[in-house]
Amino acid sequence: MSVAVPLSHPAASSAPLIDGLGRRISYLRLSVTDRCDLRCRYCMAEDMIFLPKSAVLSIEEMGELAARFVARGVRRIRLTGGEPLVRRGIDTLAMRLGALIGHGLDELTLTTNAMRLAEHAPMLAAAGVRRINVSLDTLDPAAFRHITRVGDLAVALRGIEAARNAGLAVKINMVALAGLNEDQLLPMLDHCARAGCDLTLIETMPLGEIADDRSDHYIPLHQFIAPLREARAIYPVDKRTGGPARYFAVEDSPVTLGLITPLSDNFCATCNRIRLTVEGRVYMCLGKDDHVDLRAALRDGGDVNGLIDAALAGKPRAHDFHIERESKPAVARHMSATGG
Residue 274 labelled as part of a binding site: yes
Q: Is 171 annotated for ligand binding?
A: yes
Report pLDDT for 6.
37
What pLDDT, in 10s, does the model give residues 17-71?
998 888 899 999 999 999 999 998 888 778 888 889 889 999 999 999 999 999 9
Q: Residue 303's domain spans which residues?
A: 27-338
Per-residue model confidence (pLDDT) at position 278:
94
Q: Is 40 annotated as a binding residue?
A: yes
Is position 120 within any domain? yes
In this prediction, residue 8 carries a pLDDT of 35
Domain count, the chain: 1
According to the annotation, is 29 in a ligand binding site?
A: yes
2 annotated as a binding-site residue: no
Looking up residue 163, the CATH number of its domain turns out to be 3.20.20.70
**Assigned domain for 18 exists:** no
> Is 270 within the bounds of a domain?
yes
To 10 degrees, what angle do helices 90-98 and 117-127 make? 30
9 within some domain: no
pLDDT along the chain (340 residues), means of 10: 36 77 92 93 82 93 96 96 96 98 97 98 98 97 96 98 98 94 95 97 69 69 94 91 85 95 65 89 76 93 93 72 50 56
- The Cα–Cα gap between 244 and 39 comes to 25
Is 205 marked within a binding site? yes
Q: What digits encode the pLDDT tens for the residues 235-266?
A: 999 887 767 889 999 999 999 999 988 765 56
pLDDT of residue 135: 96
311 inside domain: yes
Q: What is the pTM of this model?
A: 0.86
Question: Does 78 count as an annotated binding residue?
Answer: yes
36 in a labelled binding site: yes
Q: Is 76 annotated as a binding residue?
A: no
Determine if residue 273 is labeled as part of a ligand binding site: yes
Distance in angstroms (rounded) separating the CA atoms of residues 169 and 130: 6
Establish whether 31 is an annotated binding residue: no
For residue 145, the model assigns a pLDDT of 97
Residue 135 annotated as part of some ligand binding site: yes
DSSP string, 152-196: -HHHHHHHHHHHHHTT-EEEEEEEE-TTTTGGGHHHHHHHHHHHT
